[in-house]
Amino acid sequence: MVRALQILYIVFFIFSVSISSWAGTTGKLVGTISDQETGRPLPGVNIVILDTYWGASTDVDGNFLILNLPPGIYNLEISMLGYQTVLKKDVQISVDLTTNISLQLAETTILGDEVVVVAERPLIRKDITSKQSYIDSREITELPVRDFKDILALQAGVSKDASGRLHIRGGRTGEVAYLIDGVPVDDPLRAGFDNELEESSQSRQFMSGNLGVDIADEAIDEMVVISGTFNAEYGNVMSGIVNIVTKEPSRRYTGKLEVTTGYLNTSPYRQQNALVPDKNPIVGGDTGERLEYNPPAENFQGYSTAINVPNQFQGSFSGPIPGIRKLAFFFSGKYANFDSYLPHGFDLDRNYFGKFTFYATPTLKLNYSESFSQRIFQVYSHAWKYLPQNQGLNQNKQLRHILNVSHTISSRMFYILNLSLSSQQSEFGVWDWENNRFKNPDTEYQKGERDNELEFYIRGTDDLYINSETDLYSLKGDLNYQANLHHEFKTGVEIKYHDLRSLKRLEPWPDEGGADRRIPLDYQPLEWSVYLQDKMEYDYLIINAGLRFDYLDVKARKWKEIDNPLSELEDAAPNYQISPRLGMAFPVTQDMIFHFSYGHFFQFPNFADIYSNLIYQDPENLSQEAFVIIGNPGVKPQKTVSYEAGLKFQPTPFSVFEVSAYYKDLENLLGTRFYRKQLIYRYSIFTNIDYGSVKGIDLSWRIRHQKYFNGIINYSYSVATGNASFPTDQSYNAYFGLEETKQEYPLDFDRRHIISASMNFTYPRRTGANFWEQAILSQLSLNFIFQFASGFPYTPITDDPTLFIAPNSARMPWTGTVDLRLEKRWNIPRAQIGAFFEVANLFDRLNALRVQPYTGRLWDTGKLDLLSTGTDYVHNPSDAGPPRLFRVGGLIYF
């Protein structure tokens, strides 16, 4: 089947000229050239984008159009016989947007007379019809963050939950699509929600909430975050889009290398008796032997690495291929080793990205890119504080190949074709530290036992092993036709074929009473989609109107009646939906634009949830379990109906203010329903029973890069309510004998107020500066990040058992951090060197991420005296945010 499909892709690749991509990766340049004295339009003016193959000439009305431009900053040369030549510098092109350049040329009789004009990036883009954030490569590399994912949380409408997972405008964490060069990069078997009650540890949540995105910051040219409604070209997503566009190869050799140390200061949690006296639980009942906590003696707990010190190396190199005209390359990579600031845990990250670009003709460009990433990490679990070597860890690998063909057929039409293969492998299990491999669950796992108070593990190993592999074959592209100056059409189809394989082992110690569950997964779902979109641009109105059709065949069998495990199995019917989209922008004045958007957004449930535990569709297997959560191939697409209205206003030439209000109605969300049949069948099954709503307002104030300062301040207010925060919530209620929630309440990740800001202070290089000014102040920059947010909701408890307390009816304290990066650069012959100093949580604020429900305070249980409430166990350092941490580094540009 796979080979036949591969042949079909090749044939389709050769003959297709109308297929659509998931996301835009290019922008558009338009403009009008006129005579400075008379104002009449000038036909035949040449517009050349320097150091590229792109250019155009004005028509009889003085208009020009250049399509299919990668994002970046360009220099234009505008020339015509008898007129001064104009060199327009620093023209910014952004993904999916139109950049408008209008110039007047002055007559001259002097040959070679040239005028230099420096373009300013417009603060207001009138063709944006929803809330969008554009982050360039400079902002990503110069802010005090670990990587680009940290920058996402700074955007208006974006928040992190207590486990660090991202949510956009009150949506669940799985409702965000991540793309690199227009190609989805989520792992379909890792991005799902936890679907085992036993899989509630933070490390396993981290594994299942992984973005599936790993790329060096140096590879990113521009990152677009769409937190509002989005156009018809984006499908199978409900809350937001993160579209990363990688850098194009350069025509001359350029590069960068950056080195960052690990944390310079010792973490307050990596020491004995850090918060309270260590419990040192008793192992031998008669002998009184105890386990003692000791900080890991070796970096990364002894995991073997080529460089055995905490650090990060990342860099890039680009230029032409010697001896081959019109062929250039770009390469970036990252090698990072970090220990956690918590009592144990580490994170090892290796990745590379390579791109080759060949201009077969000025109108035909071929791109081949390959990316690889490997990440090995262990997230701190408090229960394993005294046996960290027996806690499970994660290893994720990803390899992607993308072949891209960009062909400009005429000045008004181009298409982009993408053929890609993405292979991912994820493994979770107990590590064999001596042999540097995962332990064999058949022979090397042991039953885990906790101490007498059921708090800390004192012997045994983790109880779970998972090995999943996925292959995604994808064929997609983009057909773009500019019918005239006012209408730009896109249309096409997309095909995705998945090969999903997984094996899960739970409690693999039958000789010690373990269930020894073996749960395989092997399915090949098929997706395809088609859309039509029209972007209408007038001086007084911009409209993005479109229609999208999505189709999914999960190719699996389901119960005919989900409430009857004895019912027959039947093939699940394919799912499809039609999604209308509409966005409008109304330029009120040159400095003020109003926008409105509306859309129906559908998303298929994650494959990890659709195919979960389907072996229990067999009544005999189901009868042997006390309780289990089962997937459902018959679930329907989840739906969000979204409305947004906003205003952008430019009060000064260097600042812009933006406000957006929105409302989202959430329907058919994935949830679980509990059933009990004939006393021997107790199970929950995924189905479309959850619902909710989100309303809010986003405010942004951006200050353009001035001589010494630039920055942005964001404020978000939102109310996210629903009957369940995660699909398995109702299963937890049933498992613990609680009633099913039937009213909306604040969701676990509902943060009412979020304030964030990033600010840059720079002392520029001045001509004529003395030695001390050049050595100390010149090219000195100070970057700040401020993040403050109201607390998460929680459900309090009291001594009165008759008192009804609504779920999530109380709030945790506010959290806040200030991060800093101080950087100095020096120019040397043919290069530039620099050094920097970073501080995370500058004021060492203690931020509560989880609280004790009796008191609402961090680590304070009040007067409770129950099992699992000992002082050491309650003082879980991962319930608080990171302490103050220092790093330094150096860099070189050439």
pLDDT at 354: 95
| Average pLDDT value for residue range 742-769 | 90
Nearest to 193 by CA among 165, 225, 228, 223: 165
Instruction: Give pLDDT tens digits for 785-836.
Output: 999 999 999 999 888 877 888 899 999 999 999 999 999 999 999 999 999 9
Instruction: Answer yes or no: are the C-beta atoms of 66 and 106 closer than 8 Å.
Output: no
pLDDT at 90: 84
pLDDT band for 15, please (50, 70, 90 cuts).
Answer: very low
pLDDT over threshold 50, residue 203: no
| Average pLDDT value for residue range 629-646 | 94
pLDDT over threshold 90, residue 211: no
Q: For the ranges 334-338, 484-488, 522-526, which has the lowest average pLDDT?
A: 484-488
**Secondary structure class of 309 (helix, strand, coil):** coil
pLDDT band for 109, please (50, 70, 90 cuts).
Answer: low
pLDDT band for 277, please (50, 70, 90 cuts).
Answer: very high
pLDDT at 121: 65
| Average pLDDT value for residue range 614-620 | 94
pLDDT, averaged across the chain: 87
Return the exposure string of 741-779: e unless at least 16 CB atoms fall within 10 Å of the residue's CB, then b: beebbbbbbbbbebbbbbbbebbeeeeeeeeeeeeeebb
Rounded CA-CA distance 886/866 in Å is: 39
Instruction: Give pLDDT tens digits for 146-196.
Output: 777 788 889 999 998 888 888 999 999 888 888 888 778 877 776 433 333
pLDDT band for 600, please (50, 70, 90 cuts).
Answer: very high
pLDDT at 2: 44
Rounded CA-CA distance 515/252 in Å is: 62
pLDDT band for 53, please (50, 70, 90 cuts).
Answer: confident
Nearest to 25 by CA among 73, 96, 99, 128: 96
Rounded CA-CA distance 801/787 in Å is: 39
pLDDT band for 5, please (50, 70, 90 cuts).
Answer: very low
Nearest to 602 by CA among 641, 644, 643: 641
Q: What are the distances in angstroms from CA 494 to CA 22, 230, 375, 527?
A: 8, 18, 30, 8
pLDDT over threshold 90, residue 527: yes
Rounded CA-CA distance 402/133 in Å is: 26
Cα within 13 Å of Cα(813), Cβ side: 15
Rounded CA-CA distance 444/133 in Å is: 49
Rounded CA-CA distance 43/64 in Å is: 9
Instruction: Give pLDDT tens digits for 402-443.
Output: 999 999 898 889 998 989 999 999 999 999 999 999 999 999
pLDDT at 639: 94
Strand (E) or helix (H) holding 361: strand 346-361
| More confident: 148 or 883 | 883
What Rg value do the Cα atoms of the chain yield, rounded?
29
- Residue 439: partners with Cβ closer than 8 Å, 6 or more residues away: 429, 430, 431, 432, 445, 461
Rounded CA-CA distance 216/349 in Å is: 10
Q: What are phi and psi of 226, to 5 degrees?
A: -105, 105
Instruction: Answer yes or no: are the C-beta atoms of 728 and 195 closer than 8 Å.
Output: yes
pLDDT at 98: 85
Instruction: Answer yes or no: are the C-beta atoms of 821 and 836 closer than 8 Å.
Output: yes
Rounded CA-CA distance 667/609 in Å is: 18
pLDDT over threshold 80, residue 740: no
Vertex 202 angle, CA 198 and 208, to 5°: 80
| Average pLDDT value for residue range 638-652 | 93
Rounded CA-CA distance 159/173 in Å is: 10
pLDDT band for 371, please (50, 70, 90 cuts).
Answer: very high
Q: What are the distances in angstroms from CA 303 to CA 216, 340, 347, 398, 770?
A: 23, 14, 10, 21, 50
pLDDT at 411: 84
Rounded CA-CA distance 63/481 in Å is: 17
Nearest to 346 by CA among 293, 274, 291, 395: 395
pLDDT at 422: 92
pLDDT at 24: 63
pLDDT at 22: 42
Residue 352's CB is within 10 A of a number of other CB atoms, namely 17
Instruction: Answer yes or no: are the C-beta atoms of 847 and 858 closer than 8 Å.
Output: no
Instruction: Answer yes or no: are the C-beta atoms of 743 and 182 closer than 8 Å.
Output: no
pLDDT over threshold 90, residue 213: no
pLDDT at 372: 94
pLDDT band for 314, please (50, 70, 90 cuts).
Answer: very high
Q: What is the pTM of this model?
A: 0.86
Nearest to 691 by CA among 675, 660, 670: 670
Q: What are phi and psi of 174, to 5 degrees?
A: -85, 10
What's the per-residue H, E or C state across 37-72? CCCCECCCCEEEECCCCCEEECCCCCEEEEEEECCE
Q: For the ranges 10-24, 681-695, 758-772, which has the lowest average pLDDT?
A: 10-24
pLDDT above 90 as % of the chain: 56
Rounded CA-CA distance 9/1 in Å is: 12
Q: What are the distances in angstroms from CA 64 to CA 274, 412, 490, 590?
A: 67, 10, 20, 21
**Secondary structure class of 347 (helix, strand, coil):** strand
pLDDT over threshold 70, residue 208: no
pLDDT above 70 as % of the chain: 92
| More confident: 180 or 732 | 180
How many residues are given for the chain?
A: 894
